Chains A and B, each alone.
Chain A
Amino acid sequence: MSERRRVTVRELPSYAFGPRDPMWWGVALLMCIEGTTIALLLLMYFYTRQRVDVWPTTAPARDSLYAGAATTAVLLASIVPTHLMNGAAYRGDLARIRRFMVLMTALSLAALGTRIWEFRALPFRWDTDAYGSVVWGLLTLQTTHLGLGVIENLMFVVLLYRGPVEKKHLVDVEVNGMYWYFVVGGWLPIAATIYGEALFR
């Protein structure tokens, strides 16, 4: 062996937030995939729309609008604890992380509840016509995202209280927060499309 250049990494940290973290990239790519799916399904909505004379064929009833507004409100509200939780994660403040994670989980469960209300309030079924299919499709897709988020949140609640909480879990908490932003962000265009259409018809 002769002369070697050496890159020493002994003192590097064992975790990092944001785009420095591979898991952040993984979830970002998942968001790309799911975001593309939402975008395509919305395109399907508008594609189908321009082929049908009367649209919506069965307008979502007033109840649907209330339910949709409730879901939107709950989801938007859940952004606040998520944001605060991320802040606590950067500082490594476990107590605050726990508190906000519980709050956020409660809100996500509430959103799941209003979502069930939404489904029940729809005055048409998925097999009524193409409009019904695409609206149910959009809602179901978002419910899948929502459900995945709820399961993750619940897992984190258990982990945070049961321990052992490792330092790298701070990053996982942050990435989970980012996914939750996506759940909320993905819902907004869907809500605007489904209910806005009925509202401003």
Chain B
Amino acid sequence: MTSTVATESTPDSRSEDARLERELTDTWRLCRGFAGWFCETNHTVIARRMLVTAFVFFALGGVEALLMRLELARPDNHFIGPDRYDQLFTVHGSTMMFLFAVPVMQAMGIYLVPLMVGARTVAFPRLNAYAYYTYLIGGVFLYVSLFTDTGPDTGWFSYVPLSGPQFSPGKRVDVWSQVVTFTELSALSTAANLIVTTLKLRAPGMALNRMPLFVWAELVTSFMVIFAMPAVMLATMCLALDRLVGTHFFNSAVGGDPLLWQHLFWFFGHPEVYIIFLPALGMVSSIVVTFSRRPVVGYLPMVLSLVATAFLGFGLWVHHMFATGLAELGQGFFTAASIMIAIPSGVQIFCWIATLWSGRLVLATPLWFVFGFVAIFVVGGLSGVMVASVPIDLQVHDTFFVVAHLHYVLIGGAVFPLLGGIHYWFPKLTGRMLDERLGKAGFVLTFTGFNLTFFPMHLLGLHGMPRRIYTYRAATGFGPLNLLATVGAFVLLAGLLVVLTNVVRALLSGRDAGPDPWQSDTLEWSVASPPAPYVYEHLPCVAGRYPLWEGIRDCVVEGMDPRQRQVLVTAALDAAPDHVYVLPGPSIWPLLSAVATGVTFITMIFTPWAVPLGLALGTVCLVGWFWPRPPHEPLLAEQP
């Protein structure tokens, strides 16, 4: 290593700093103008776009949910009808899982991870932009299809043979499978980006055991994405092939197996739950530490729990398939694994409780959401333990009990921490403070509304109300509880509208936040709010887990050339400086490549000619993307 660590006294470096800032601003300048909008690769910009897009899809998914609740509010209701209802619940589920939950968690990661590890940006900014555009195209495609009555209608997991070529004619399921492929492509790219950013771009001194828990959570999640998402991409590809060119992967009549779809889907689908849930746990850890004003209790158990959850998460997909008649032994194994996953979750909950218990609590809105999360998640976890048991699962399979359970887990486990995280990092994202009173009012309303909506569904499910029915007879007696749930849905809507109002008000006239309004511990709070495009004037170096509480400003990296988009690459384990890497600048090619991908995938639904078309477009994009452009870096000695 050629780097040296020295302690020396600095002469007045004010003018030096001003020049540095000027040069950095110039080098990392954001693109301007209309065209610049499409070229931008800065990670904060892309992450902000991704966040906004994800929340727009959240809102759309919410509207679909409200429409469904209206349809179910009273018995024998026919205002939506079966065909639209099927499309609504499918698009709702797919939106929430593929277009909201995963991207929003990754967007938070893309925004925060480089800041938290002390990097100027992500490892592959262009790939990052590409991932965003692919996701956007996929999402827009889904909604265009919904609005043109081509929305998928076979449920968010599209079981074959229902979703197969015979029972789902037309292009609806093809749309679904391509949308899933789009979002998986995006998620995989982002995950790879996050992993490399975390492993290679950390500030000197930030060894793995000093990484913030949120970064750990994003790292583990990204690894889960890398190994889980290929399963669903493969599954949707096979489904598309079955539907479009007549392969027989899932056709039992000539040797295929519909259950194979379920295996592949849930091999992804169960880890998916943890892909959504683990970043949320990271957010909770950040919030708990900050508002307890003390280091987290049990850093190592927390990290090990995250890793253990990731491993166990791959071992229990079959508990979604108990009703398919598997062998007894398998059922026992997967029941055990499903119950075992409660252990790491429990460890984390106890660590947080211990941290909160022993800390000096600041009862800000983010912490309120954390409390809400714990309450709801415990209920969801308990119903989860119930359905992990085969006899109970067989009883409540495909009833509203499962609907209640999964919403308790996903909204409780992911949306509440996310809302907490949004309240927590909002100052960093925008430079403005949210109003605490509105924030708490929003929490109370969403918490109440959520429980009003989903708790009755437990009872409905136990009484035998099946999922995915567009109406029911009055004689079933499901009416009153459904009405209650619908009322609750509107209370929940009111709560979310209060949160939105708070955000809009803060953006228009919020209090200026300053770099570190919460007196937090992690590096992102050491830079301006919102951060400059180059984020750090001097790259930081750290010596502990809580750099801001430990005096980060005492250590900086020097010797980076501010006239180039340089990033410092460090060793994967101990983060020792290794080499300095020049990143490519803004480019239109990520967008063009995403469009090429989109055109290929969408054309594929209609004609196999999409394959050669995609090959040609892909080659052009690859060449355009990677072709070296001046200014050139040091040339190899012997040139022609």
Task: Mark A residues whose CB is within 8 Å of B.
Answer: 1-16, 19-22, 25-26, 29-30, 32-34, 36-37, 40-41, 44, 47-48, 51-52, 57, 92, 94-95, 126-134, 136-137, 147, 151-152, 155, 159, 161, 163-170
Contacts and interface: CB of A to CB of B under 8 A. Distances in A.
B248 A130 contact: yes
A94 B638 contact: yes
B72 interface: no
Nearest to B233: A37
Q: Identify the 8 closest CB pairs spanning chains A and B, nearest first.
A: A10-B559, A130-B255, A133-B247, A127-B246, A130-B256, A129-B254, A5-B555, A36-B230
Given A22-B581, A32-B227, 20 more contacts: A3-B7, A4-B556, A5-B7, A5-B556, A6-B557, A9-B3, A11-B3, A13-B2, A20-B571, A26-B196, A37-B230, A47-B260, A47-B263, A48-B255, A48-B260, A127-B247, A152-B622, A161-B640, A166-B636, A167-B633
Contact of B231 (A9, A32, A40, A165): A40
A10 B628 CA distance: 24
Given A7-B556, A44-B249, A155 B623 contact: yes
A29 B226 contact: yes
Contact of A167 (B555, B578, B636): B636
Nearest to A156: B626
A107 to B, nearest CB: 20
Contacts of B254: 128-130
Contacts of B571: 20
A163 to B, nearest CB: 6
Contacts of B246: 126-127
B201 interface: yes
A14 B249 contact: no
B474 interface: no
B486 to A, nearest CB: 41
Interface of B: 2-10, 13, 123-124, 127, 188, 191-192, 195-196, 199-201, 204-205, 226-227, 229-231, 233-234, 238, 241-242, 245-249, 251, 254-257, 260, 263-264, 267, 541, 553-560, 568-569, 571-572, 577-582, 615, 618-619, 622-623, 626, 628, 632-640
A14 B555 contact: no
Contacts of B233: 37
A94 B638 CA distance: 7
18 contacts: A11-B2, A12-B2, A12-B568, A19-B572, A20-B578, A29-B196, A33-B229, A37-B233, A44-B234, A44-B249, A44-B260, A92-B636, A127-B248, A133-B249, A147-B615, A166-B633, A166-B635, A166-B636
Nearest to A19: B572
A50 B605 CA distance: 31
A165 B640 CA distance: 10
Nearest to A29: B192
B256 A22 contact: no
Given A3-B554, A12-B2, A22 B257 contact: no
Contacts of A163: 639-640
